[in-house]
A = this chain, B = another copy of it.
Amino acid sequence: MKPKTPLNVDLLRADFPILTREIGSANKKLIYLDSTATAQKPTDVIDAMNDFYRLNNANIHRGVHTLAEESTAMYESGREQVAALINASPREVIFTRNTTESINLVAYSWARTNLQAGDLIILTEMEHHSNLVPWQMLEAERGVRLEFVPITNDYLFDMDAYRELLKQEPKLVSFTQMSNVLGTITPAKEIIRLAHEVGAITLVDAAQSVPHLPVDVRDLDADFMAFSAHKMVGPSGIGALYGKLDLLNAMPPFMGGGDMIKTVHLRSFATNEVPYKFEAGTPAIAEAIGFGAAAAYLQNIGMDAIAAHEQEMSEYVLEHLEEIPGITVIGPSAAHKGAVASFVMDGVHPHDVAQILDADGIAVRAGHHCAQPLHEKCGIQSTTRASFYLYNTKEEVDALVEGIYKVKKIFG
């Protein structure tokens, strides 16, 4: 899938003020290879929030003065921009704090209403803690059962094992569309189609997919989808839950408070319409505006073009990392993954790798990346992870490779 306009990375780097940052006493130019943890923000996004606070700030939905009308319109247009990015209707997009809260919302509101003891939830072995712990909590509280689709030897979603598990008639299949460690892209559309065949509801953890791939909730036919603004050039403090309207309408509220109600009496209340029913209290207003600006920024560049650039980066980095003696990259071949390279290095702990790279201005992440069970499965404690986004270049990969050789020398 060739994008119409390939990215002009040099040009778009100028949109990200932090990329001129210098690191450490040696003033090394920042090489930011940690976008899977959180992405950097373009001026468009930063200024949208800045301007809001300087010009328009007011509380929303409840005020008739000019600032309140402006703020309400800006907040809702943020929702429209986010909805447009995933081809949803704005009404189906609930603002949350992050992917984690989106998943917990489904666990509290949908699952606690619809699941009974013994009901089966299917997850995968490569889930982020955020798509694991909420279900473990539900298991402990309600006695639902959890089963895990394994990963194959080449780090892919095990479709055969999944088909076997489906025979047990799960009520929910909740899975990541892209692993934040392996980079593995799962066949979401097929997973959802098969889940629907046995009547299961599906939740897509799209924390890593919406920022990096074209994602269309209608085409996928996803029931729920969770993602975070901060991983897609948007602000911290806001995320989204997409849900099919019928499902959302039928769900009880999660948190109670202002804005999620239609009427309140001392001893009763009636809930507001979706999506407001799930947005209790003053929402993240500036953040919704920034989230909208982020979605518009990405859509303007084109998710196809971004995905193609990352595919190229992914091939390049895998090729070069795998050449280094003593380095093992954990994950599938470039054809099946996003631009995430997690690796182990013989005899050197990832923290030490990351620390030494940092001295050259190279920011990578070290640890279990909130996917401890996946690391256990792979028989390792932790990995060093370099991840790439629209603003990364091949020169930065070269610097990474050079840095790794330095690590080897120090710990040699």
Contact = CB atoms under 8 A, between A and B. Distances in A.
B67 A100 contact: no
Contact of A148 (B23, B41, B129, B266): B266
Interface string A226-267: 001010000111110000000000000101111111011111
Nearest to A260: B133
A57 B40 contact: yes
Nearest to A252: B137
Nearest to A259: B370
A193 interface: no
A302 interface: no
- Category for how many chain A residues contact B: 35 or more
B66 A284 contact: no
Q: Pick from A133, A237, A269 the residue with the most CB of B within 10 Å.
A: A237
Q: Pick from A133, A236, A255, A366 the residue with the most CB of B within 10 Å.
A: A236
B282 A67 contact: no
Contacts of A37: 58-59, 62-63, 68
A55 interface: yes
Contacts of A364: 65
A98 B281 contact: yes
Nearest to A41: B53
Contact of A264 (B24, B58, B133): B133
A364 B34 CA distance: 45
A361 B228 CA distance: 37
Given A130-B258, A268-B136, A372-B263, A236 B282 contact: yes
Contact of A238 (B62, B237, B354): B237
A214 interface: no
A304 interface: no
A92 interface: no
A82 to B, nearest CB: 15
A285 B103 CA distance: 20
A285 B363 contact: no
B365 A256 contact: no
A58 B32 CA distance: 10
Contacts of A283: 97-98, 236-237
Contacts of A104: 255-257, 280
Interface string A38-53: 1011000110011001
Interface in A361-387: 361-367, 369-370, 372-373, 376
Nearest to A255: B104
A56 B40 CA distance: 10
Given A34-B63, A57-B41, A101-B281, A266 B236 contact: no
A351 interface: yes
A133 B269 CA distance: 7
A134 B239 CA distance: 22
Nearest to A128: B258
29 contacts: A18-B67, A21-B67, A34-B59, A34-B63, A40-B57, A53-B235, A62-B369, A63-B366, A65-B358, A65-B362, A65-B363, A98-B283, A104-B257, A129-B257, A129-B269, A130-B258, A133-B256, A134-B255, A135-B256, A136-B267, A146-B267, A228-B282, A230-B285, A235-B286, A236-B285, A236-B286, A237-B237, A265-B373, A266-B376
Given A68-B363, A104-B256, 4 more contacts: A59-B230, A63-B354, A66-B358, A128-B258
